[in-house]
Amino acid sequence: MTSSFSRRSFLGLSGAVGLTAALSACGGGTKIGSGSSTPASAAPTFSGGEYSGPKVTLDYWNGFTGGDGPHMRAMVEAFNKEYSGRIEVRNVTRRWEDLYPAMPTAIAANKGPDVAVIHNDWVATFAVRQTLVPLDDVVGSLQLTEADFIPAVWNAGVYDGKRYSVPLDVHSLGDYWNKAHLEKIGLSEAPADKAAYEEALAKLKEAGIANPFWMPNKWPAHLMFMSLLWQHGGELYSEDGAKALWGSAQGEQALAWMVEQIDKGYSPAKVAIDTQYAAFKNDKVSFTWDGIWQINDLKTNAKSLDWGLSPVPNIGGTPAVWSASHNFVLTSQAGKDPNKVQAAKFFIDSMSRQSTEWAKAGMIPARNSVREDPAIADLPQVAMAKNVSVFHFLPALPGVGDVQSKALELAVAKAVLKEATPAEALKEGVATADKLLADNKRKYGQ
């Protein structure tokens, strides 16, 4: 996604009013193990190897409506050409904010996707509703293991002891920097630690850059906060998903650092959504933290800007960065047809193995063999994966998006807007989060 709006849409949509309830209603509210007309676990076992059944048509849903769309279409077209006469994949592209609420209803009516791409933080929600079919047999038959992938993204596809997804990529925050601005203070690259970063900001201000690092109160402020929380050694939620832990001392340190950038004059107050990125594109900002999906946007729409991209600096002491992932999943609709199961699982594996094209969309391939391909070695995002231990993902909790948007994001915004101190904003946010987590446990039958 090269548009920051599209990214905000899919990350925030799980907190949209009524959406979680709609998913619950559309999915029938079935608890895992409680039985249904076609339990997800009843899908035929993957046989592995080439698909040898009759010709099958698969409906494939994804939300790649931005600059990444042409790359995904190219991958699907190449697959269809290679397996013409055996498997036809119909590429159905919808906006993420439309795709997620539509999937359960469409699948229940047998008019939905057989295979889809969803984000890692939706895997648990759909798995608990039996919208997805487990893929343990696929990874077992193909002998896929954590060693084939970035470990954190591989583990993000597991819910309740079963694997429900195969990761396609990783996309994270990065630190974009203005080369001309940094040259003014004698730097050829972005500083990588707290002391050097703060020293650079002070020098940039002295050099005439009025506000070198604009601090947003909304997108992607919550992603910055989570990155800093993990860097300080904090965690988001308890292992059982019952408590929010981001109101800790580590959370206060993370949020206080964000607010300090305004207090020190490095950022103006009340930065409106998207203006920090627009200011960077217009040569007004020295640093901005944003997703790697902006790479192609900058290449296309900011050709006069000389910029660099580095990992988010280590402010808290331990390198860490918020990350997400696009994941292939098999739906319970396909699970009713043995031939569709075999074809869909074969398609998933094939797309994962041949995802060099996808790296050109600005993503970091999840599969190690693809990242090692010399054809993509010079892409800026590939360099971001030199230390794969930095990638951190939201935990596999059903309904976690509601908690993020209705509690964590609002707490961060309150503090950055100076409507409350970091400690006060986090305390209030955690209280809301804990109520939502309790509601989710009841709602999803955990």
Give the span between the Cα atoms of 339 and 44, in whole angstroms: 9
- What DSSP element (H or E) covers 360? none
Residues 6+ apart with CB under 8 A from 169: 325, 326, 355, 358, 359, 363, 364, 365, 366
pLDDT digits (tens, 9 = 90+) for 171-202: 999 999 999 999 999 999 999 999 999 999 99
The confidence band for 68, taking pLDDT boundaries of 50, 70 and 90, is: confident
Whether residue 47 has pLDDT greater than 60: yes
- Residue percentage of the chain with pLDDT more than 90: 62
Whether residue 381 has pLDDT greater than 50: yes
Neighbour-count burial of 316, counting CB atoms closer than 10 A to its CB (0-12 exposed, 13-18 middle, 19+ buried): buried
Peptide bond into 134 cis (omega under 30): no
Q: Which of helix, strand or coil describes residue 162?
A: strand
pLDDT digits (tens, 9 = 90+) for 330-363: 999 998 899 998 899 889 888 887 788 888 888 9
Strands 391-392, 321-324: pairing is parallel
Instruction: For residue 331, give the amino acid letter.
Output: T
Whether residue 5 has pLDDT greater than 50: no
The confidence band for 7, taking pLDDT boundaries of 50, 70 and 90, is: very low
The confidence band for 31, taking pLDDT boundaries of 50, 70 and 90, is: very low
Question: Which domains occur in the chain, in start order?
Answer: 4-170+324-392 (3.40.190.10), 174-310+399-443 (3.40.190.10)
Whether residue 10 has pLDDT greater than 80: no
What per-residue confidence (pLDDT) applies to 24?
33
Give the span between the Cα atoms of 188 and 180, in whole angstroms: 9
What is the pTM for the complete model shown?
0.86
CA 107 from chain centre, in angstroms, equals: 24
Residue given tokens 């699907």 in the structure block: 76
State the average pLDDT for the chain.
Answer: 87
Whether residue 142 has pLDDT greater than 80: no
Whether residue 247 has pLDDT greater than 50: yes
Residues 6+ apart with CB under 8 A from 62: 72, 91, 92, 93, 94, 99, 116, 117, 326
Whether residue 2 has pLDDT greater than 50: no
The residues pairing with 118 across neighbouring beta strands, listed in sequence order, are: 327
Neighbour-count burial of 169, counting CB atoms closer than 10 A to its CB (0-12 exposed, 13-18 middle, 19+ buried): buried
Residues 52/87, Cβ–Cβ less than 8 Å: no
Residues 150/390, Cβ–Cβ less than 8 Å: no
What per-residue confidence (pLDDT) applies to 361?
86
What per-residue confidence (pLDDT) applies to 141?
77
Q: Is the Cα dihedral 203, 206, 207, 208 positive or negative?
A: positive
Residues 71/295, Cβ–Cβ less than 8 Å: no
Residues 6+ apart with CB under 8 A from 248: 234, 235
Give the span between the Cα atoms of 108 and 22, in whole angstroms: 13
The confidence band for 445, taking pLDDT boundaries of 50, 70 and 90, is: confident
Whether residue 372 has pLDDT greater than 70: yes
The confidence band for 446, taking pLDDT boundaries of 50, 70 and 90, is: low
235: tokens are 């965690």
Whether residue 149 has pLDDT greater than 60: yes
What per-residue confidence (pLDDT) applies to 148?
86
Q: How far is CA 209 from CA 262, 265, 290, 373, 403, in A?
A: 14, 11, 20, 40, 37
Whether residue 227 has pLDDT greater than 50: yes
What per-residue confidence (pLDDT) applies to 206?
96
- Give which of 303, 306, 345 is closest to 328, Cα–Cα: 345
The confidence band for 49, taking pLDDT boundaries of 50, 70 and 90, is: low
What per-residue confidence (pLDDT) applies to 36?
35
pLDDT digits (tens, 9 = 90+) for 52-64: 889 999 999 999 9
